Chains A and B, each alone.
Chain A
Amino acid sequence: MTSTATAPPPPDIRSDAPDTGPSARTPTRLAFGQRRTKWDMKLSPYLYISPFFILFIVTGLFPIGYTAVISFMDWDLVRGTGEFIGFDQYVYVLTQPKFWIALRNTFSIFLLSSVPQLLLAIFIAAMLDQNIRAKTFWRMGVLLPYVMAPVAVALIFSNMFGDKYGLVNTLLADLGIPAVPWHSDAFASHIAIATMVNFRWTGYNTLILLAAMQAIPRDYYEAAAIDGANKFRQFLAITVPSLRPTLIFVIITSTIGGLQIFDEPRMYDQYGTGGADSQWLTITLYLYDIGWGQWNFGRAAALAWILFLIILAIGVINLLVTRRLVRDEGSVRR
């Protein structure tokens, strides 16, 4: 460290800062400069990270705390304040059958979108990991759905999954299979909504898994091939175990995102209320309905906290995983 500090700067740096060469200084200016530099070095890191933290406090931390306050109130929209009523809003939400239906739907859609998606992503990534021609072309093709807005995806798929004239039912009819009530049946609607999520995110997760696969040393496969392991055996014995940390990462991020699902169920029909019998009502859709349909902010806030507590369990795991990652990175720095 000290040796690098006294070493002359490389020429390219000097050309970047031509007017502050060390030789140009007088001793008094150096003393002042040193004091200034000390404060500069001490304070500027905090200055640099402050925009993020200030904005997070105002638009993140403060609203979160305020949500807790409102959730214990019977919030009056007109007066902009409320009466303290304790846990009543929580009790109300938790005793609504709609809440439990929404919870069931949210988890059902989440499982239907994450499990097949992950299996599919591993499979496609394994295909892309082969020594194929036109690699960039295939990778871009896989990612294409990602640029389409979830709202747009939802509009297309709700049309394809139409109960009466939808493409899917037409194709099923051609195969001699009776039409599926994609909107009136709860489970069928979950499949349709999960398909939208899968369409948009499979390629994205495929590329993450592909990157992890390419980080596996090729010698492993060579050695396995010499030992007589076929491609499938190599995949199970080498690829899958090596993917574990990446899989954990993908699962955690898709859980946090998946439990908040709103766009797709909102756009699944023209009313956006989650179906006549709440077939595809999700927690966030329910929150929107309470907050901006019934204009009951106290209840919406209580539901927001309930949703957060559900996600928190998974968030804690997320924190532990990322903390380990950060710590690893920190040890590299020392």
Chain B
Amino acid sequence: MTATKSIPPAPVDDRASDAATRRRAKAVRGSRPGWFVYSALAIVLGSAIFPFYWSFLIGSGDASTIRDPNMSWWPGGNFLDNALSVINDPAVNFWRALWNSIFSSGLIAASVVFFSTLAGWAFAKLRFRGGRWLLVFVVATMAVPMQLGVVPLYILFADLGWTGNIGAIIIPALTSAFGVFWMTQYLQQAVPDELIEAARVDGASSFRTFLTVGMPAARPAAAMLALFTFVSAWNNFFWPFIVLDRNDPTLPVALSLLQSNYFVDYSIVLAGVLLSTIPLLILFAFAGKQLVSGIMAGAVKG
């Protein structure tokens, strides 16, 4: 402010044109919103965070905290103790569950990404008879509920002696109709046909073309697909709950066991809830931005 006073007229012109640009930008993008928008968003953010805080509040107290009418809004000091009793609870198998969740979700994400990219490449960029009908079929399978096949799937895995085995939740999830559809959509616009022709003229085999042209081009969409597949595999409950053994669970199945006692100590249950959510919170801290843009990118096409 003080600086502009001492400056000769020329910069003032600059400022004027600057203001004009800003005005034009304002007209195009709309002005900065007022307090109403920010307070509405703050309330939304508050309700998104509150259940996390509530679990910390209860999870850092003791069994009586929840019944205390004068409960403090400030967390207690027992969170680590409660977390440790979850970890050391022989019925929960925390470390085993954590490993199973990481292993199965990671493997499922990697497999879904690879096979979806491969199939998406074929549907988006290669001409073959019946391709479009097969793609419609893939999309249609997304509407079929898991429940419809769950009884025979259980019988199948029971016959194979695989119930209770982590493989029983990995194998059915190795490919995904959503993933195929997602990669098809992305690759259609991401790779110009000329690039494929060029690779072909170069004598590259079909698979080599996929590896050298398709895979690198698919990388952004593949990263997002990996994230979403990982999160949904991690949170999956219905099928793991049916087929897995209590001694060898995933985290959500282990969590469900925390509440199965006659007497429920919520300070321990909610400490366990928070404990089991920490890995995904870490993932969210690093990849939340990608999740946001993944949902928004999918929406524009979907």
* Residues in chain A within 8 A of chain B (CB atoms): 1, 4-7, 9-10, 13-14, 16-17, 20-22, 25, 33, 37, 40-42, 44-46, 48-49, 51-53, 55-56, 59-60, 62-64, 66-67, 70, 80, 123-124, 127-128, 130-133, 136, 138-153, 155-157, 159-160, 162, 165, 167, 170, 199, 203-204, 207-212, 214-215, 218, 221-222, 246, 249, 256, 259-260, 262-263, 266-267, 270, 272, 284, 287-288, 291-292, 297, 300-301, 304-305, 307-308, 311, 314-315, 318-319, 322-323, 325-326, 329-330, 332-333
Q: Is the CB of A52 within 8 A of B45?
A: no
Contact A256 B201 (CB under 8 A): no
Q: Which A residue's beta carbon lies closest to that of B36?
A: A127
The answer on a CB contact under 8 Å between B143 and A20 is: no
Q: A292 — which chain B residues lie within 8 A by C-beta?
A: 242
Contact check, B238 vs A284: say whether CB atoms are below 8 A apart.
yes
Are B145's CB and A256's CB within 8 A? yes
Residues of A within 8 A of B27 (CB): 222
- In the complex, what residues of B have CB within 8 A of residue A41's CB? 126, 206
Place the interface of chain B in its size category. 35 or more
Residues of B within 8 A of A266 (CB): 237, 241, 256
The 3 closest A-B pairs by CB, nearest first: A63-B149, A315-B143, A66-B152
Check A146/B291 contact, CB under 8 A, given A48-B119, A155-B259, A212-B299: yes
CB distance from B251 to the nearest CB of A (A): 7
Interface residue from A17, A70, A162, A199 paired with B204 (Cβ < 8 Å): A17
Residue of A nearest to B210 (CB): A48
A56 to B66 alpha-carbon distance, docked (Å): 47
Bitwise, B100-119 to A at CB < 8 A (1) or not (0) is 00000000000000011011
6 interchain pairs, CB-CB under 8 A:
A9-B202, A51-B118, A124-B40, A148-B235, A155-B259, A156-B270
B270 to chain A: which residues have CB within 8 Å?
A: 155-156, 159
Task: Indicate whether B51 reaches chain A with its CB closer than 8 angstroms.
Answer: yes
Judge whether B283 is part of the interface by a CB distance below 8 angstroms.
yes
- Which of B180, B188, B241, B277 lies in contact with A329, CB distance below 8 A? B188
Asked if B302 is an interface residue, CB under 8 A from chain A, the answer is yes
